Structure formats: C-alpha cells, structure tokens
C-alpha cells in the first residue's frame, strides 16, 4: 500500500484540517447552528450556559473544535447578554483556530448605525470593534437593518438575504391576486425584490416616525389598488409591531383581503403579536434567526451558501 512521506502526510493532514469546519452553537441559536453543521457535514459543539445570581453569564464549550470554526449566535433580547456571550464564544474559538467565522443571524444594535440626534452614540461602531478584538476573522449576518451598519466593520463582513426562502413559502399559498406592501418608503427595495421573486406587483406606504417618541403614523393617501386583494406586508424586522399595526389598520380601511406579515427577524416585544393580529393580520411568518412561534422559515441554506 502506498504511504505518503511523513512531511507530505503532515502537510496533507494540515490542509484537510484547515478546510474542515466545526460549528459552535451559542445559547441563542442552538437549533439553527445544528442545521448549519448538518448542511456542512461538520462537527457540532454546543455550549453550556450558567447564569450567576448577579446576572453574569458563564459559557463552557462542550468539546474542542478543530479546523475552521463557525460561531452561530444571534444578538436578540436580552441583547447585551447575547452580545457578551457571542464575544465570549468567539474569544474561546480563537484559541483553537485563526479562522473564526462569526455568524450573527440577527445583529443587535444595527439600528444605531449613525448619529440621528446630536450626542447619540453610534453603538454599532463599537460592536464591530468588539467582534474583531474578540477574534472574529469574518462576519456573516442575515438581512441587517441597514447597509450603513455593515460599513462599520473593518474585517470581511457579508450580509445575506432570507427573502428567497420567505418567497418559497408564499408561493405555496393560494393567495387572491396578491400584492406586496412595504410599510414605509425605506423598505421599497426589499418589497420590490420580494415581489419580483414572487412574480407580483408591489407598493410602499409613506410612514412618519417621531425620532423622540417613536410614535408611528401612516401619511399615505388612499390606495384603491389593494381593494379585495390579499396583501403581504414585508419588513426586515418586527419589534414592537407599531409599523405593522398602523399599516394593517390603514390597509383594512381600504377594503383589502387577507393580510400576511412577513419578516426575517420577529422580535415581537411584549404584546406585539397580539396587537398585530388585532389589527387584522392573518398570520406572521418569520425566520429562525430568532426562534419563536412564527419562525417557520429556515435560513441555514443561505448561511451555508455564504460560508462555503
């Protein structure tokens, strides 16, 4: 049997090791991380989380990773805790590999990407520095709130979209003359992409948000084209649900058909889901960037595509 010389064997083993992956699943994204590992045919290692009485988090890896390491940890509420946990896992992963991919499916603080009012801290800039310092060599995020936030990174950072996966779901529904609707003008490109993939038309409502109070109001005039049609309200995230509620109430007054709310990240803070349904939304469809009752769409395929 042919045997490689020792020096070539070591080089071969090193090459094989560095092209393989180990996926570390953070406490906020364990199930999604398992799906990523499965699709990459890679080893999965979970983490143990211990909370101290004062609120501190203690993370322990359940094994020793090898090769390139993928850390999957969403930074949703409690945002600060999940961010520190992500940093801790990345820091530990760095001890085993110089190639650490930080997959942050939901990137907290992405809305704080610029100084809107005088004196505001651009927290996103600090977050990017912390991720780099912790040891992340590359970043992958899913439908980040704004591309401006992505520009704060000084290491390679890639934003992937869940729109195609969401559209696949709606293609299976029997909707009546469907129309895609963005709840504000800022999301018009997202609505356009969604509509093009679905093969339908789209519109955008004109929204105003008070920067100090957060109060939302729809400024659009009547939209007669929605009458009798099933609508898909498309957004990147639903937090308190204020924008979706106002949009749904406005559209219902226009005598539309059923309303579906579709988003990548369903935070659904407090009684948001209840208020959205009360406003006339038939169903909320979101992805597993944030686990929950509405997160029925799997984003692991787009994450794996971005990595591999």
Catalytic residues: 207
Burial class (CB in 10 A: 0-12, 13-18, 19+), 44: buried
Query: Is the alpha carbon torsion for 278, 280, 285, 289 positive or negative?
Result: negative
Distance CA 93, CA 64 (A): 9
Burial class (CB in 10 A: 0-12, 13-18, 19+), 292: middle
Hey, what are 245's tokens?
Answer: 């509620």
Q: CA end-to-end span of the chain, whole Å?
A: 34
Residue keyed to tokens 């989380």: 49
Q: Taking the C-alpha atoms of 140, 142, 147 and 152 in order, what is their torsion angle to the nearest 10 degrees?
A: -40
């Amino acid at each position: 049997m042919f045997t490689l010389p020792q020096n070539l064997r070591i080089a071969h083993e090193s090459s094989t090791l560095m092209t393989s992956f180990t996926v570390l699943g953070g406490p906020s994204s364990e199930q999604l991380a398992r799906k990523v590992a499965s699709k990459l045919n890679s080893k999965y290692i979970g983490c143990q989380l211990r909370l101290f009485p004062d609120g501190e988090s203690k993370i322990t890896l359940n094994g020793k990773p090898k090769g390139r390491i993928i850390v999957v940890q969403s930074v949703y509420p409690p945002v600060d805790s999940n961010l520190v946990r992500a940093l801790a896992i990345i820091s530990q992963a760095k001890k085993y590999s110089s190639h650490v991919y930080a997959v942050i499916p939901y990137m907290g603080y992405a809305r704080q990407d610029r100084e809107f009012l005088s004196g505001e801290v651009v927290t996103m800039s600090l977050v990017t520095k912390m991720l780099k310092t912790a040891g992340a060599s590359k970043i992958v995020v899913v439908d980040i709130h704004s591309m401006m936030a992505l520009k704060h990174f000084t290491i390679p950072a890639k934003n992937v979209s869940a729109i195609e996966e969401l559209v696949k779901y709606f293609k299976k529904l029997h909707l009546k003359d469907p129309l895609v609707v963005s709840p504000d003008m800022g999301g018009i490109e997202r609505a356009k992409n969604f509509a093009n993939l679905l093969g339908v038309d789209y519109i955008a409502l004109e929204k105003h948000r008070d920067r100090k109070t957060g109060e939302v109001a729809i400024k659009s005039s009547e939209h007669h084209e929605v009458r009798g049609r099933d609508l898909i309200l498309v957004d990147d995230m639903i937090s308190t649900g204020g924008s979706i509620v106002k949009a749904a109430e406005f559209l219902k007054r226009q005598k539309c058909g059923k309303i579906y709310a579709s988003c990548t990240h369903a935070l659904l803070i407090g009684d948001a889901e209840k208020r959205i349904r009360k406003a006339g939304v038939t169903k909320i469809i979101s992805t597993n960037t944030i686990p929950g009752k509405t997160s029925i769409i799997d984003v692991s395929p787009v994450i794996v595509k971005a990595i591999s």
